[in-house]
Structure 1
Amino acid sequence: MIDAWRGILYPARLPQFHRLLPPAEAAELVEWFWIPEWNIEPGRTSRQHVVAYPALNLVVDAGGVELTGASTRASHRDLTGRGWAVGALLKPAAVAALIEDPSALRDRSTRFDAPDLHRAVTQAMDESGAVGREHAATAFSAWLVERVGEIGPVARQANEMSALLMTDSAITRAEDAAARLSMSVRTLQRLAHRYVGFPPAAMIRRRRLQEAAQRVREHPETDLSTIAAELGYADHAHLTNDFLAVLGIAPSAYRAS
C-alpha cells in the first residue's frame, strides 16, 4: 500500500488533517480521501508544502470542485481564515472518466463541473466532526462509482501499473515494471500517459524522492550518503540534485528545517 504520509514535507505544520480509506465499492477508484480543516488566526497564513504523488486529485471545497493534475515539482498551498477541503487521490481507473488527456493538467488544475458532487459533499461537511467526514467520503465515493461505471481490464491494469511503480523499491527502471507486468515498455508508457499523464520513469523518480525526503526527515542520525546509496542514487550529489530540481532545497537544508 502507498504510504499516505510520504508526500507531506512538513507534517508538524499541518492543520487538523484526516485521511480516510474509501469504502469497498470505490476501492479501485480512490487511494484515499484527504480532508484538512483549518481555522487560522486573522492576519496569519499556514503554508503547506507537498511533493505530490504522480496522480490526479479531485478536490471539493466551499468554492466548488477542482481537478488537479500530476506535478513535476513540489507545491504549496496557503491556508487562511477558516475552511475545509475534501480531496480524492485518484487511482488511474477513475481518471479516464474525468479527463481525456491527463498530461494536459500536469502542474496545473482546472475547475470541474460537478454541482451534484459539490452539493453532496458540502452538505456532509456541514455535519460535525468524524460523522461529517465519513459522510463526505461516502457521498464522494458514490458519485465516483456512478460517474466511472464498470471498470474494464485495461483500467485495472493501469491501477496495477501505478501501484507497482509507487510502492516497489526493486523497480528502478521502466523496463523492470514492464517485465513484471508482462507487457512491452511502449504499452507501459501508453498506460501511464492515458491514465496518469506522467511517464513511468518520472513516477519511479518521484517515489524515490518521496522516500528520500521521508528518511531524511525521520532519521536524522543517518548519513545522507547512506540514504542515497540505499535508495539507488549514484551518490550524495545525485540525491542533492534531485532535491534541488523538485523541492528547491538541498537535503541537508531540508533536514535542518
Structure 2
Amino acid sequence: MTAAPGPRRDTRGIVDPAELLTRVRFRRHSPAPALRPYLEHYWLIDWDLTEPYASHVVPHPSVNVVFERGEEAGDSAVLSGIGLELFTKKLTGTGRVCGVQFRPGGFRPFATARPVSHWTGRIAPLTEAFPATGTAEAAAVLSPAGDDARVAALDAFLLAHGPAPDPAAAQAMALVDLVRTDRAMRRVSALADRAGLSPRSLQRLFAAYVGVGPKWVILRYRIHEALERARAAPAAGPPDWSRLAAELGYSDQAHLVRDFTATVGIPPTAYARALSAA
C-alpha cells in the first residue's frame, strides 16, 4: 500500500475557492507516516467573521472526521460520511475546525464494525464509530493555538484506533485512485476488468470500503473536473461543453449539464459566467 505523497494542493470540490480563502485561514497537513496510506490529509480552518458566510463544497468520495469549535455551539466531534449532495456550511463569528479527510477506501481499517456505506449521507456523532471518544479528545485537538500541536493530537487520536491492515481496503483505495487519475476510466465494466472482479463483486467492494458505488465515484470526479474547467474559463475562454462532455465519458452535453446542475445547483455556463463577473 502506497502513502499519499503529501497534502493535495488543488481546490477540487470547492465551489468558490477564491471567496472561501478570503474569509478563512485554510491549510492542509500530512499525518504521521503510519497513517499516510489511509488519509488524504488533515485540513484546518480558523475564522473570525464580521458577517455570516456560507461555503459550498461538492464532496469527495471520502469519509471525514470533523472536530469543530464555535462561539455558540461549543466543541463537537462528528463523523461525516460521503455527502451525496452539495454541502453547505454556514460560518459565523469566530471558530475553528480540525478535520481528517480519509482516502476513499481508507476509513474502514479504523472502524471495522460496519460497512462504509452505513455512514453515507450521514453526519453522526463520532461516538457512533468510536464509542470511547469524549470531550477530552475534542479539546485536545481544538485547544492548541499552533498547527503542529493540533496535528499531533489528530495523529494520537487515529493511532489509538488502528489502522487494522486490510488487503481489501488497499484494493479499494487503488481502484479509486485509478478513477481519479485516469480520465479514460469511464465505465464500471472497464474498472471491474482492471480489478479482475465481476461488476457485482466490485459493487460489493465499493459499498463495504468506499461507501458508494463505482459509477457514483466516476461521475463525482468528472463533476470535479468540470468545475475546474469552468473556473479556468475567465482566463482561457468558455469551455467547449460538448467536447468536455465527451472527454468526461458523457453520452452528450445534456447529460453533463444535468449532472452538473443537480450537483452544484446551477448550470455550468451560469457558473462560469458568475466566476467571470466576480
1:204 aligns with 2:218: yes
Residue correspondence of structure 1 range 33-44 to structure 2 within 5 A: 33-41=42-50, 44=51
> Does the Cα contact within 8 Å between 1:93 and 1:151 map onto a contact in 2?
no
TM-score normalized with structure 2 length: 0.83
Task: Specify the code of the residue in structure 1 equivalent to 2:96.
Answer: W
Aligned structure 1 segments of 4 or more residues deviating by more than 6 angstroms:
none
Query: CA separation in 2, counterparts of 1:22 and 1:170?
Result: 31
Please state whether the residue corresponding to 1:93 is helix, strand or coil.
coil
Query: CA separation in 2, counterparts of 1:167 and 1:137?
Result: 28
Query: CA separation in 2, counterparts of 1:217 and 1:83?
Result: 28
Report the alpha carbon displacement of residue 4 of structure 1 after superposing the two structures with TM. Answer: 4.1
Report the alpha carbon displacement of residue 34 of structure 1 after superposing the two structures with TM. Answer: 1.3
How many residues are matched? 249
Going from structure 1 to structure 2, the CA distance change for 1:148 and 1:4 (only over 3 Å counts) comes to farther
RMSD: 1.9
Q: Which residue of 1 aligns with 2:13?
A: 7
> Does the Cα contact within 8 Å between 1:53 and 1:70 map onto a contact in 2?
yes
1:230 aligns with 2:239: no
Query: CA separation in 2, counterparts of 1:50 and 1:61?
Result: 17
Structure 1's unaligned 5+ residue stretches are none
Report the alpha carbon displacement of residue 225 of structure 1 after superposing the two structures with TM. Answer: 2.3
Query: CA separation in 1, counterparts of 2:10 and 2:99?
Result: 13
Query: CA separation in 2, counterparts of 1:247 and 1:230?
Result: 20
> Does the Cα contact within 8 Å between 1:243 and 1:251 map onto a contact in 2?
yes
Query: CA separation in 2, counterparts of 1:149 and 1:107?
Result: 23
Identity rate of aligned residues, in percent?
33
Query: CA separation in 2, counterparts of 1:28 and 1:117?
Result: 23
Structure 2's unaligned 5+ residue stretches are 70-74, 128-132
Report the alpha carbon displacement of residue 3 of structure 1 after superposing the two structures with TM. Answer: 6.4
TM-score normalized with structure 1 length: 0.89
Residue correspondence of structure 1 range 21-170 to structure 2 within 5 A: 21-41=30-50, 44-62=51-69, 63-91=75-103, 92-98=105-111, 100-113=114-127, 114-115=133-134, 116-123=136-143, 126-127=144-145, 132-170=146-184
> Does the Cα contact within 8 Å between 1:96 and 1:194 map onto a contact in 2?
no
Task: Specify the code of the residue in structure 1 equivalent to 2:18.
Answer: A
Equivalent of 2:267, from 229, 250, 256? 250
